[in-house]
Every structure is written in structure tokens, then in C-alpha cells.
Structure 1
């Protein structure tokens, strides 16, 4: 069974889920739940850093901080795969 990382916005403002090393962003509106799933059969460890309105996530294969996992997907609670920039606010400065 693959490791998965659920991320839930329990606040009242939009929150950015930022996944490294590519810097892909997915925006959670209040009440949204997303799930980050590695596309590898290896054991994956997640590293999460949290700021006011930002979750930064790294995925490491076999828990090795020098072996970042590059293949993953982000899905909504209903299972729909999300694309980078999902729900990105126009004033976020992102491209």
C-alpha cells in the first residue's frame, strides 16, 4: 500500500499546497481536502513545512533526503486528479 499525504484546509482563507522540487502549486479553498500520492512503489517519506497560508511538501524515496521523488499526483477528495495551478488566485503572483 502506498503512502499518501492528506492535506485539509480547516481555515477560512485559501491555502497553497506547494510541492517541491518542481514548485508546483495547488490551492485549497476552506473545507477542501487534497491527497498527495507518490507514483512509486518505494517507501516514501513526506517532509512538510507550514507557513501562514502555505504548505511546502517534499517526497523522499526510502526516507533519504538526498533522493527526492519526482513522480506524484495530487487529487481532490472525490478522486479527481488536479493540475498544477488548481484554483490559483489571480492575485497570487503565480504564472
Structure 2
């Protein structure tokens, strides 16, 4: 029996992200530059769509942000655009979540 998230995807197909810093951290999901802001102590999870076979994540750290790409089977030609970001309680988050006034993701 497999465990599931709020969206029904098996737990192995998720990317948990934590902000262990003292400032906001921008979670930047490609290819559409969707942003979600983590306050210090926040934990979000990136969950690919249920129909994505073998999703694999690539994460790049850039000052004050994490840039995430999701690929089907690790193939860079097969970019996954169907995903959900949830918080620690399983609540689905919308793009731009907690965007601090005056901050840029760049």
C-alpha cells in the first residue's frame, strides 16, 4: 500500500522544500516562472500531476530562491507543467503565495 498526498500522488513523487533561513525564500517553478514564497520555518511540497510517469526534479539554488524543474523520466525534453504546491497541512497554494511587498524573485 502506498501513501498519498492531498492530491493523490504517491509520496515518492514529491519534493519537500523547507526554509531554514531567517528571510523569505522564493520557490521558483519552471518553465513558467511560477513563484511561491516561504517564510522562515515554512515547509511546502511540490507534487507533480497524477498522470506524470516517473517525475524527476532538478533543483538549482540561486541567492534567496530555489529554481525547480520537473522532468518526465529525467528527460530534459519532457518538461512537466502539471503540478501542485501544498503547505504542511496539505492545503493547495496559489501562484504568488505570500509574496512580500517590494520583493522580486530575481
TM-score, normalization: structure 2?
A: 0.84
Partner of 2:5: none
Shift of 1:86: 0.2
Instruction: Give the 3 Å change call, closer, same or farther, for CA 36–9 of structure 1 in structure 2.
Output: same
3-state SS of paired residue (1:60): strand
Partner of 1:33: 43
Q: Match for 2:73 among 37, 56, 62?
A: 62
State the alpha-carbon separation in 2 of the partners of residues 73 and 86 from structure 1: 12
Q: Report Cα offsets for 1:37-63 as digits up to 9, x if no partner.
A: 000341011000002210000000011
The runs of 5 or more residues in structure 2 that have no matched partner are 1-9
Runs of 4+ off more than 4 Å: none
- Superposed CA RMSD in Å reads 1.2
TM-score, normalization: structure 1?
A: 0.94
Partner of 2:6: none
**Number of residue equivalences:** 94
Partner of 1:13: 23
Which has a greater percent of strand? 1
Partner of 1:74: 85
The runs of 5 or more residues in structure 1 that have no matched partner are none
